[in-house]
Amino acid sequence: MVTEFAKQRKGPYHQVYLSHVERAIAACRTVSPLQHSGEKGRIREILLRSMFRPLLPSDLGVGTGFVVGAAGEVSTQQDIVLYDRSTLPPALFDPELGIFPIESVLHTIEVKSVLSRQELLSSHQAAKALASLMIHDKGGNMVNTGPRPCASVFALDTDLTLGGKSEIGRYAELLVQERPRLSAFCVVGRGYWWLDGETFRAWPERYEFSEVIGFIGGILNSLPHLYDARRTDRPPFGAYLMDFGADLRSVLRDIGRLGDEVDALRASGTTEDATLMALQDRFRVLSNELDEVFAQYQDEVLREGYQKARTLADGVAKKIAAAAEAEQPNQSGAGKQTTKDVALENELRVDMAPGISCPCGSGKGFERCHGRQSE
């Protein structure tokens, strides 16, 4: 175990920064017991001002807000975002709060007053969702492979008892068959752990706040590699300004809702020629828009996505056709469902099934991503 003597023999740079850490943690602990909505924001502000900003190079920014993906997906709020200013600029609402393109984000940190099992699980899920966001390649195409931000947790305290279960042990229990999504976590006074390959390692030094120094130092040491990965594949900024991903989400959502309208009309038995013609006209417009959106991309993943999207759109077209056919008089009586209608309906249950992954790249089923289940 390293004693207080180890801290005293550190150099002057270390000593000065350690004094920043000591003051910042003391201020955070003063705020932490306050039970109101501004508590976390105040802790975040202290950490940004006193512990991160003094050490960051000029081309690295730090803020708080939301990470946006290439398809327009938006993350949950990230307490601390470290980003490369030279890759893509954020859209800032004030000097710190903003929206950050995922391609420029190097590291995100969730801040916890007390780290519990539920808080750790929440951080893991947020990191997992962040890793699923699509990115732009250097040609401006939407892809689902490439560098993603590292995600960490910083906590002022934990609900684990000293000498009992470790934070590493608790995280391993939460993972079950999943791979770790958090690259590091630090609990003041308890320790700092970081992912090295497939295994977590523990910070060895044990003087007061050494775990905080190790946590920040570990993040800073990772930056050169993260810089290189981002700057090699830097996408054009215009990809976000034009935002074809938003166009894709909008078209898919409208197609899904059109399918819902057809279902509702057929269930009510009130389908009329004029209504069906209006639905067909709307579908033609949306179908053309879908073709135009995917025409912007040449990436193989997006070509596959186009085929999925066309299958989904064709499913809606079949629903409209089935509704129109059901309106025609037949041997079973006008308006009754024919054997052909039943066959079409069974086919549609496959075409529009939630199990079909959405072509927007979310990894979710289409209806869960853009249909009624998303409301």
- What span, in angstroms and rounded, lies between the C-alpha atoms of 49 and 213? 16
Contact 114, 158 (CB under 8 A): yes
Residue with tokens 């934070």: 167
Nearest to 174 by CA among 163, 161, 185: 185
Strands 135-136, 184-187: pairing kind:
unpaired
CB 257: neighbour CB atoms within 10 A? 17
H-only helix segments in 132-272: 167-175, 210-232, 238-242, 244-268
Quick one: CA dihedral 283, 285, 288, 289, positive or negative? negative
Q: Note down pLDDT in tens along the chain; length 375 residues.
A: 455 555 566 788 888 888 889 988 998 888 877 655 566 788 888 888 888 888 887 788 899 999 998 877 889 999 999 999 888 888 888 888 899 999 999 999 999 999 999 999 999 999 999 998 888 888 777 777 788 899 999 999 999 998 888 898 999 999 988 899 999 999 999 999 999 988 999 998 878 899 999 999 999 898 888 888 777 777 877 667 666 556 666 777 777 788 888 888 777 776 677 777 888 888 888 888 777 766 665 555 556 666 767 777 787 788 878 877 766 654 344 444 444 444 444 443 333 333 344 444 444 444 444 443 433
Strands 150-155, 105-112: pairing kind:
parallel
Q: pTM for the full model?
A: 0.67
